[in-house]
C-alpha cells in the first residue's frame, strides 16, 4: 500500500505482455490523470511497481499469460476536495469510530479515490491497515466503524455482513401527518440495482429490504426556516427516525421516496441530477446517528451515538 492506496489487480483475457496490458488498462480508464501517459507507464516498470501474484517484478516486455494476475498502482485523477472534516467519535486498540461527512465515499471507487473516508484516514493516521467494517453511501453522513489492524478485520466485517449490528438513521423530509400517525411502520419490498445505473428500484420476488419508520416529528421553527433557505423549499419539514433491518444500496432513500417523502437534498430520487449539479453546500439530510452491537472480540456491548442535530449541522 502506498500513501493510503491499495494496488490494483488485473488479468488479461489473452496472452500479451505486461506493457501492452497496462497501457490498454490506463487508456481505458474513464477517470484518468492527465499525466498518466506512456512515460508514467514506463516509469512504473522502472520503479518495480508492476509485479505478478508472487511479487516478482515485471518488465514492459514480460510475457503475461491469459488469466495471470498483474498488480500495479493507479495514479488518481484530480478530485475536487470535499470541504468537510472527519470527526473521531471513539478509538481503542482495535477500532476507530468516526463521524463521516456527506460527499465522502467510504472506499475508493470510480472517480472517488483520494476523497474517500478510507484514504483520508489512512493518510492522517499513518495506519495503512485501517479498513471499514461496513459502508455508508457517499452522500450519507454519520457513524462509520474502521478496524485498525488486519487481524481484527474479519470479525467486525462479518458482524456487519450478518446484520448483527443495529443502526439508526435520521432524515429530514416533507412532513407527512399520515406517516407520523402510522409510525411505527415497516416498509418491506424487494430492491434491485443494475450495475452502471444510479437509481435502485423495486422488483418482483422475495423481500430483501426492510426499514422500520420509528417516528416522525415536526422540526423546530428556526431549524425548519434555515433548511428551507438552504434547500430552496417552502414546505413543512419533519425529522424521520429510520431503523433499517437490511442494507441494500440506497434503501432508505428509495423507501422514503416511495412513501412520498423524498429526503431533503437527495440528488437521485425522484430525479437523478447530473454530477456537475452537485453542490457541497446542499447535502443529503440523512445521517447514521446510532450504532449498537456485541463486540465480536471480547463480547462487550458497544453503543455509539451522534446527536440528532448532526443531520442539520451543515
pTM of the model: 0.91
Instruction: Give the percent of the chain with pLDDT over 90.
Output: 91
Per-residue pLDDT 10s for the chain (314 aa) are 888 998 999 999 999 999 999 999 999 998 899 999 999 999 999 999 999 999 999 999 999 999 999 999 999 999 999 999 999 999 999 999 999 999 999 999 888 999 999 999 999 999 999 999 999 999 999 999 999 999 999 999 999 999 999 999 999 999 999 999 999 999 999 999 998 888 999 999 999 999 999 999 999 999 999 999 999 999 999 999 999 999 999 999 999 999 999 999 999 998 888 888 899 999 999 999 999 999 999 999 999 999 999 999 88
- Cell numbers representing residue 229 in the block: 433557505
> Could you tell me the fold of the domain covering 87-312?
Pseudouridine synthase (3.30.2350)
Give dist(CA 144, CA 227) in Å, integer. Answer: 25
Q: Give the CA distances from residue 265 to residues 19, 103, 274, in Å, rounded to whole numbers and listed in that order.
A: 45, 12, 14
Query: Distance (Å, rounded) from C-alpha 73 to C-alpha 79?
Result: 17
Q: CATH 3.30.2350.10: which residues of the chain?
A: 87-312
In sequence order, what are the beta bridge partners of 242? Answer: 169, 213
Amino acid at each position: 500500500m502506498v500513501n493510503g492506496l491499495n494496488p490494483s489487480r488485473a488479468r488479461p483475457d489473452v496472452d500479451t505482455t505486461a506493457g501492452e496490458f497496462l497501457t490498454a488498462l490506463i487508456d481505458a480508464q474513464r477517470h484518468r490523470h492527465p499525466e498518466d501517459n506512456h512515460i508514467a507507464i514506463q516509469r512504473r516498470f522502472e520503479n518495480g511497481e508492476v509485479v505478478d501474484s508472487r511479487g516478482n517484478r515485471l518488465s514492459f516486455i514480460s510475457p503475461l499469460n491469459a488469466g495471470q494476475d498483474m498488480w500495479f498502482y493507479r495514479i488518481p485523477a484530480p478530485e475536487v476536495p470535499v470541504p468537510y472534516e472527519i470527526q473521531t467519535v471513539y478509538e481503542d486498540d482495535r477500532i476507530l469510530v468516526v463521524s463521516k461527512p456527506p460527499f465522502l465515499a467510504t472506499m475508493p471507487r470510480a472517480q472517488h479515490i483520494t476523497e474517500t473516508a478510507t484514504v483520508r484516514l489512512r493518510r492522517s493516521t499513518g495506519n495503512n491497515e485501517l479498513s471499514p467494517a461496513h459502508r455508508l453511501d457517499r452522500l450519507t453522513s454519520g457513524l462509520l466503524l474502521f478496524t485498525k489492524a488486519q487481524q481484527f478485520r474479519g470479525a467486525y466485517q462479518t458482524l456487519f455482513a450478518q446484520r448483527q449490528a443495529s443502526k439508526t438513521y435520521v432524515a429530514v423530509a416533507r412532513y407527512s401527518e399520515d406517516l407520523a400517525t402510522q409510525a411505527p411502520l415497516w416498509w418491506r419490498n424487494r430492491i434491485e440495482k443494475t450495475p452502471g445505473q444510479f437509481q435502485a428500484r423495486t422488483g418482483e420476488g422475495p423481500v430483501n429490504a426492510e426499514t422500520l419508520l420509528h417516528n416522525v416529528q415536526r422540526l423546530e421553527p428556526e431549524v425548519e426556516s434555515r433548511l428551507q433557505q438552504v434547500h430552496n423549499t417552502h414546505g413543512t419539514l419533519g425529522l424521520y427516525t429510520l431503523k433499517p433491518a437490511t442494507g441494500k444500496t440506497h434503501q432508505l432513500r428509495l423507501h422514503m421516496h416511495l412513501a412520498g417523502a423524498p429526503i431533503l437534498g437527495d440528488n437521485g430520487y425522484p430525479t437523478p441530477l447530473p454530477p456537475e449539479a452537485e453542490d457541497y453546500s446542499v447535502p443529503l439530510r440523512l445521517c447514521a446517528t446510532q450504532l449498537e452491537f456485541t463486540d465480536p472480540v471480547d463480547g462487550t456491548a458497544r453503543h455509539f451515538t451522534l446527536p440528532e442535530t448532526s443531520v442539520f449541522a451543515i
